[in-house]
Amino acid sequence: MNRLVLGCYTAEMDGTGLGLTVLPGGALPTPSPSFVIADPTRPLLYAVNEIPDGTVSSYALHADGTLAHLSTRSTGGDTPCHVAFFQGYVLSANYGSGSVSVHPVSADGVLGERTDLVRHEGRGVVAGRQEGPHCHEVVVGDDGTVTVVDLGIDRLVHYRLTGSGRLERTGELVLPPGTGPRHYVVHPSGRWYLATELSSEVLTIAGGRLVGSVPATATPPAGTNNPSGIALSGDARFVYVANRGADSVATFRVRDDGGLDPAGDVPCGGAWPRDLAVSGDRLVVANQTSNTVVTFRLDGLTGLPSPTGEVVATGSPTCVLPL
């Protein structure tokens, strides 16, 4: 039995392809929880609330799948859309204001007062989308480097988190103008695969530099396409990208040299797929504007997804977290 957190709903897949249901008591009212993560060692969840006066919340996750609210703190920014955990701190990316906040977490899961708030500066070349910085993701590397993906200024900005909860800037990777980086995954080889929302590509980054790119869809989309979520298969042989506009999931094979080859596109089973996640041999897709979460079975040989028929109807799903 695989358990999923869908925003702030908890659901279970029965593993047969016939059942995906929200658990009784598994729903918790909270304002616009756009991204959810699990604490690496404790039964806790953290979610950012994507509202103008942004907040981040912590929750207890009980054994029966029910959730209990523990605390909420201001992120000090506008419309936070991503959250990460590192060494006892929660880091939130404020999309609207182009900033990142840091909050300590106590032993019982309660968030403390903010210890830092760093703001990016600059703008990009795409009118209406890059008028200023837009922090979209926070990723912590195995070496402890905190990388902030900034869609608004086409940069990956690197930091070190100090013992006092402060972020010290250590460098950056400047991407081509108008790229609009959104989310990336780290391959076991050390390469990064980065989905770009504005240029509709998947970039390959190795050794801290850009080494390759492919279109985010195997088939050219009829109109504008804005990639969103990106995920690796369990064996790291395939990369999956959710495409909003094309309303598809693209599959890429990872070559021995680290490059990507398109394997095919499949319909996402709804509209505007904002997030996706791999859970065993399943791919779970959150279709935001069709208000559905759907699952696909992953072919072990080709990596290609095929619909299982499992569907959960839920309001504007934006994040899926396998537990």
Q: Tell me if 83 sits within 8 A of 104, measured CB to CB.
A: no
- Closest by CA position to 60, among listed 116, 105, 115: 105
- Closest by CA position to 84, among listed 95, 98, 100: 100
Q: What is the pLDDT of residue 17?
A: 44
Tokens (6 digits) for 149? 């993906």
Q: What is the pLDDT of residue 18?
A: 38
Q: Which CATH class is domain 30-177?
A: mainly beta
Q: What is the pLDDT of residue 188?
A: 97
Write the CB contacts of 115 (distance below 8 Å, at least 6 apart in sequence): 89, 102, 103, 104, 164, 165, 166
Per-residue buried b or exposed e for 92-109, using 16+ beta carbons within 10 Å of the residue's own CB: bbbbbbbbbbbbbbeeeb
Report DSSP letters for 129-194, one per residue: T-SS--EEEEEE-TTSEEEEEETTTTEEEEEEE-TTS-EEEEEEEEPPTT--EEEEEE-TTS-EEE
Q: How far apart are CA 139 and CA 124, in angstroms?
A: 22
Tens digit of each residue's pLDDT, the chain (323 residues): 466 665 666 777 655 443 455 555 566 778 888 999 999 999 999 999 999 999 999 999 988 888 899 999 999 999 999 999 999 999 999 999 999 999 999 999 999 999 999 999 999 999 999 999 999 999 999 999 999 999 999 999 999 999 999 999 999 999 999 999 999 999 999 999 999 999 999 999 999 999 999 999 999 999 999 999 999 999 999 999 999 999 999 999 999 999 999 999 999 999 999 999 999 999 999 999 999 999 999 999 999 999 999 888 888 899 999 88
Q: How far apart are CA 161 and CA 277, in angstroms?
A: 27
pLDDT tens-digit map of 80-110: 999 999 999 999 999 999 999 999 999 999 9
What fold characterizes domain 179-323? Answer: Methylamine Dehydrogenase; Chain H (2.130.10)
The amino acid at 59: Y
Where exactly does CATH 2.130.10.10 map onto the chain?
Answer: 30-177, 179-323
Q: What is the pLDDT of residue 160?
A: 98
Radius of gyration of the chain, Cα coordinates, nearest whole angstrom: 18
Q: What is the pLDDT of residue 320?
A: 93
Q: What is the pLDDT of residue 208?
A: 95
Tokens (6 digits) for 124? 């990009």
Q: Please report where in the chains the tokens 């790229």 appear, as a residue.
A: 179
pLDDT tens-digit map of 115-126: 999 999 999 999
Q: What is the pLDDT of residue 66?
A: 84
Burial class (CB in 10 A: 0-12, 13-18, 19+), 224: exposed
Write the CB contacts of 19 (distance below 8 Å, at least 6 apart in sequence): 12, 13, 310
**Beta-sheet pairing, 209-215 with 89-94:** unpaired
Report DSSP letters for 200-250, one per residue: TEEEEEETTEEEEEEESSSS--SS--EEEEEEE-TTSSEEEEEEETTTEEE
Q: How far apart are CA 196 and CA 243, in angstroms?
A: 10
